[in-house]
Chain A
Amino acid sequence: MAPVCIGADEGLNAQDLMKPLSTDWPTFNGDYSGKRYSSLSQINQRNVDKLTLAWVVQPQSVGIKSTPLEVNGILYFTTPDNVWAADARTGRIIWHYYRESTGDHIGNRGVAMYKDWLYFETPDCHLISLNAKDGSVRWNIELADPKLEYFSTMAGLVVHDHVIVGVSGDATDVPGFLESVNPETGKIEWRWNTEPQPGEPGSETWPQGTDAIAHGGGMTWMTGTYDPELNQIYWGIGNPNPVLNGDIRKGDNLYTCSIVSLNPDTGKLNWHFQPSPHDTHDWDAVQTPVIFDDEYKGVHRKLLAQASRNGYFFVLDRTTGEHILTAPFIATNWAQGIDSRGEPIPNPKMEPKPDGTLVSPGSDGATNWMAPSFDPQTRLFYMSARRLWSIFYMTAEGKPEGWAGRDRNLWANSTLEAIDYQTGNIRWKHEIGDGEGIAGILTTAGDLLFTSDNSDNLLALDPATGKTLWHVNLGARILTGPTTYELDGKQYLLTPAGGLIFAWVLGK
């Protein structure tokens, strides 16, 4: 009699995605909240110095910027054009999918998973559904026209029976959007456009009677978060176009540089908040809108927090978008105050000019796309910040198109910060050196914070104080965020560094 494999389906169920982050890592941020806080505590403050190497996998690739998923003992990770499945116990590669493409190969954040299927975005702005068992292609659709310089890098978000995906590309003046596709067929279910139609709410924040609103940018670079109880998805939106010159798009330019709440079943807008009204410095507000429930001034609230590219930390009530708090997380020089909505007021004198404007932060931002973390035990919001200065040059003559200029970096150094969401105060800073930090952050119930400094050191910190508890030099930058999962009662810490992935476990 032939042997059979009996057991539960190894694919990903909708219920698995609802769970707070624990033994698996089934979606880009671990779970829907974006906290990147794991309930695993086998690795903890008392034994972190006993961490030892479990295995290394070397897929012969460029730097890995994706967050690997781990579902039922299999890892799924990516680089542009590539998806790998690997054994989460040993690192051995199970299958490898490769599809050559044109377009910007700046990075890929990972795949989304639904049942037995993976969803992979490509540099030529396609969405490909792969069979998770063997990497074979089920279908392949174009999200937006790559000839208009759209590309895509995002790890999509699976919500109910929707795969929600977004696009990238601000080199040309094309409109951004978020869309939901059917996970079985790839057919579009809804599309939410960053720019409203003329006449719709928000359109008054663009010049009337011009084509600026049709070319306004606002890319959806990063994965959003989801509240199943409220049934709202929260998404950060990118900067407007033309990038460094706002003269032909006077107004706040909604919904570029905004945090929006949408209905995941219809794509309808619930509310918005705008971290960077009328941005002229490329400060995408696409950083993770982390959601958590906690007290504010003695009242239990449903909160949302974003440490935004422009140097400001925002806390909102995510039910309605009501503004709660705005505080700078690092010194900057571009705003002339906060308005009654809690939004920074850009100083027109700090806009890019032909002879150069000295601005902090530069276009790379006071933070960027790397994952923040919220630890419900310490009740602190952790993020990687930069002190960054650039000179911005506006070079367009005549009508500005595309970037219309560029900034040149002068210097940068970086620091990890623990922000008290109730006050905006920085509880502690941990300097991580010259240059721009790019590693994400993981916190765990083992009272640990994992990240990397700018000298290739993997760090384990005490999340309450920022003190270093353990470190090891990986010889390469962590270009993504550390993750953790548990198999056979053993907790693994995963740290992609450069083009390799290291897995750590407790030594015997």
Chain B
Amino acid sequence: MRRPTLPLYLLTLFVAVAGLAFAQGHVPQPRDQPNEDPAAVARGHSLFKSTCGFCHGEDATGSRAPDLVRSPLVNHDDHGNLLGPVIRNGRPDKGMPSFSTMGDAQIADIVAFLHHQALAALHSRRMPGDYPLAKLLTGNAEAGKAFFDGPGECSKCHSPTGDLAGVAKRFKPIDLQQEMVYPANGKKDRTAVVTLKGGERFEGKVVHADEFNIGIICQDGWYRSWSRDEVQVEIHDPLEAHRELTSKYTEADLHNLFAYLETLK
């Protein structure tokens, strides 16, 4: 049977909606430093520590002298056009000595380092996907297992040798910690039983449910929907248990359970 092509108006609508979704979910993108050279940043850091660190702090976050990460001069500087003269001439009125003998290459390295520091601060609101496991592993795995089998009631639905076998290999640590409390894609597992006025029952996966309508995909693969004032609806959400548990975790439970799940490799 010939596959029908998607009507053009639907395609346009999809593109418009997708674009809109992107706009609505827009995470502000901080400015990016073009072509940051890691070697220059490293050399600059080393030079900065020995030459400037005594006053400005080894990481440029300030000590006797200002925090350069927040400096308007650094933020306006373009490849050293503003910073170079200040480094060479110093700020005699503020007690900064001049480094008139510093070479162009050295100044460029320091400038690269300072821009890197400013950018790192700006980017500090990004959560790195490779957040180190060592920072997260503050709990006790045995206590976590006791929680899993006991008050957490996780074993009612999950098994370390069944669905959770190797779970620590499937997720990055930071993602596992999040999934543990609430799986990101769990909404697709909601099911519903819809009973019509005449008594006929339909059962299937919930596609959409709101105050006014219920839409499900039945076992035969067809989508069906009803106005909610015409039918009785029972929705079964396996994630209800996760939502109820969220407010019950103590801080220790959270880290212990995570430590236990991290052993499931």
Contact = CB atoms under 8 A, between A and B. Distances in A.
Interface in B59-78: 59, 61-62, 66-67, 69-70, 72, 75-76
A468 to B, nearest CB: 7
Contacts of A331: 247
A429 B30 CA distance: 39
Contacts of A468: 211
Interface string A413-433: 000000000000000000111
A105 to B, nearest CB: 7
B124 interface: yes
Interface string B112-139: 0000000011111111100100011111
A389 B59 CA distance: 34
Contacts of A431: 211
B122 A149 contact: yes
B246 A411 contact: yes
B190 to A, nearest CB: 10
Which range holds the interface residue count of chain B?
35 or more
Contact of A499 (B20, B135, B137): B20
A252 B127 CA distance: 27
A104 B28 contact: yes
A398 B63 CA distance: 13
A453 B211 CA distance: 9
Contacts of A398: 59, 61
Interface string A388-402: 010101011011111
B30 A149 contact: yes
A250 B4 CA distance: 65
B55 to A, nearest CB: 14
Residue in A102, A172, A215 whose Cβ sees the most chain B Cβ within 10 Å: A172
Contacts of B233: none
Contacts of A393: 127, 131, 174
B249 interface: yes
A401 B121 contact: yes
Contacts of A476: 17, 20
A251 B74 CA distance: 29
Contacts of A147: 72, 75-76
B20 A410 contact: no
Given A399-B57, A399-B61, A360 B247 contact: yes
B191 interface: no
Contact of A106 (B26, B135, B246): B26
Given A391-B178, A471-B212, A477-B24, A404 B138 contact: no
B80 to A, nearest CB: 16
Contact of B254 (A173, A211, A358, A404): A358
A406 B127 contact: yes
A211 B62 contact: yes
A410 B57 contact: no
A227 interface: no
A194 B109 CA distance: 36
B67 to A, nearest CB: 6
A260 to B, nearest CB: 24
B104 interface: no
B124 A401 contact: yes
Interface string B32-76: 000000000000000000000000010101100011011010011
A333 interface: yes
B126 A406 contact: yes
B181 interface: yes
Given A389-B182, A403-B124, A499-B20, A173 B61 contact: no
A228 interface: no
B243 interface: yes
B124 A396 contact: yes
A402 B121 contact: yes
Given A149-B30, A393-B127, A401 B70 contact: yes
Contacts of A453: 210-211
Given A104-B28, A106-B28, A355 B125 contact: no
B226 to A, nearest CB: 15
B255 interface: yes
A57 B76 CA distance: 41
Residue from A105, A411, A499 with most neighbouring chain B CB atoms (10 Å): A411
A205 interface: no
B75 A148 contact: yes
Interface string A131-163: 000000000000001011100000000000000
B201 interface: no
**Which 10 pairs from chain A and chain B are nearest by CB?**
A403-B125, A401-B121, A455-B210, A399-B61, A62-B23, A402-B121, A410-B182, A104-B28, A406-B127, A402-B124
Interface of A: 62-63, 102, 104-106, 145, 147-149, 171-174, 211, 215, 243, 331, 333, 349, 354-358, 360, 389, 391, 393, 395-396, 398-406, 408, 410-411, 431-434, 453-455, 457, 468, 471, 473, 476-477, 479, 498-499
